[in-house]
Amino acid sequence: MRAISLIQQFAEIVLAVAIAPLFAGWIAQCRAWLQNRSAPPLTQPYRMLRKLFHKDVALAANASPLFRLAPYVLFGTMVLAAGIIPSIATDLPFARAADAIALIGLFATARVFMALAAMDIGTAFGTLGARREMMIGFLAEPALLMVLFNAFLLYGSTALPSLVDGHATHPSVIDPSVIFAAIAFVMVLLAENARIPIDNPATHLELTMIHEAMLLEYSARHLALVEWATDLKLFNYACIGFALFVPWGIAIHGADSSSALLLAVAALVAKLILAGAALALIESLSAKLRIFRAPEYLAMAFLLAVLGLLVHLLLGANVNA
């Protein structure tokens, strides 16, 4: 394990934790611009976090230790995931700890802890949110797995560093299976991160909430950690998308250290800006779906991913014939 890879690992984690709220703030700002409102400043999420950390926790009398532990576990899983996903470099010691399927498992751990914590106090909204969140979870998993299957067929691996390296050695031209998989991935990203059209992150109507309903009982530092973890989850999903589909700029194995790293950071920031704007555009153009239209939406994502798989098996295998 070289020293440079340790430095890259550390830098990546710190960068992810630091930038994630900024990314969420940028998306909020783009949404505001698209909806002809004036936006809060980009540093608003940081101010919110600071405010929350300094408040006293107001805990329900019947909250169990699980409720108090869950925000930390959530934050921990998201930080670990940020360390595993190759957002700026592929030569990371933690990258060996998980391939993409294990990453999905890590996100599932976070989701289950969140759902259990939501059921802990025993309010109607918490249990409702837990039930809905788990439902979205199990509908999104097949689609996500099929996207990874596509990646595996194209590059022979599900480990993200190998995928990024594979992209670098033989860049693919416009491949329909890649495009289908990318669209499916974006649809799943919207579903898993509680964005429109599955869930409205800015809603105040409890009966329409999925993700927010699970957070209703949290306050102060717990809420801050959960919010930060949510922002990190979106950041992580975006970085997975970049690693799978547009990995240009990531410092690959054996690259010359400092300049490659700076280039990677710059590329990441540029990609995040574009992705944030695109996400805000999609959110502004779509309407929130009824909860039982969500299976159709996710079935569409699953279908796209499977179509990509089948098209690759039919056409891609014969492209040289």
Helix axes 257-285, 220-245, angle to 10 degrees: 100
Distance CA 23, CA 29 (A): 10
| Residues 10-29, interacting with other proteins (CB under 8 A) | none
Q: Which of 20, 30, 128, 280 binds other proteins (CB under 8 A)?
A: 128
Please say which residue, 221 or 288, places its beta carbon nearer to other proteins.
Answer: 221
| Residues 258-297, interacting with other proteins (CB under 8 A) | 292, 295-296
| Residues 214-233, interacting with other proteins (CB under 8 A) | 216-217, 219, 221, 225
Contacts with 314 (C-beta within 8 Å, 6 or more apart), sequence order: none
| Residues 88-117, interacting with other proteins (CB under 8 A) | 94, 96-99, 101-102, 105-106, 108-109, 111-112, 115-116
SS (H, E, C) 196-211: CCCCCCCCCCHHHCCH
Please say which residue, 165 or 280, places its beta carbon nearer to other proteins.
Answer: 165
Collapse the DSSP code of 315 into the 3-class scheme (helix H, G, I; strand E, B; otherwise coil) and give the result.
coil
Contact at 8 Å (CB) between 73 and 110? yes
**Neighbouring-strand partners of residue 89:** 251
Please say which residue, 41 or 105, places its beta carbon nearer to other proteins.
Answer: 105
Please say which residue, 48 or 179, places its beta carbon nearer to other proteins.
Answer: 179
Q: Does 58 bind other proteins (CB under 8 A)?
A: yes
Collapse the DSSP code of 251 into the 3-class scheme (helix H, G, I; strand E, B; otherwise coil) and give the result.
strand
- From the list 87, 112, 181, 133, the residue with the least C-alpha distance to 291 is 133
Q: Which of 7, 34, 142, 208 binds other proteins (CB under 8 A)?
A: 142
Q: Does 203 bind other proteins (CB under 8 A)?
A: no
Q: Does 173 bind other proteins (CB under 8 A)?
A: yes
Helix axes 176-192, 220-245, angle to 10 degrees: 180
CA atoms within 13 A on the CB side of 184: 32
Q: Which of 135, 246, 255, 289 binds other proteins (CB under 8 A)?
A: 135
Q: Which of 2, 138, 262, 281 binds other proteins (CB under 8 A)?
A: 138
Q: Which of 5, 8, 90, 162 binds other proteins (CB under 8 A)?
A: 162
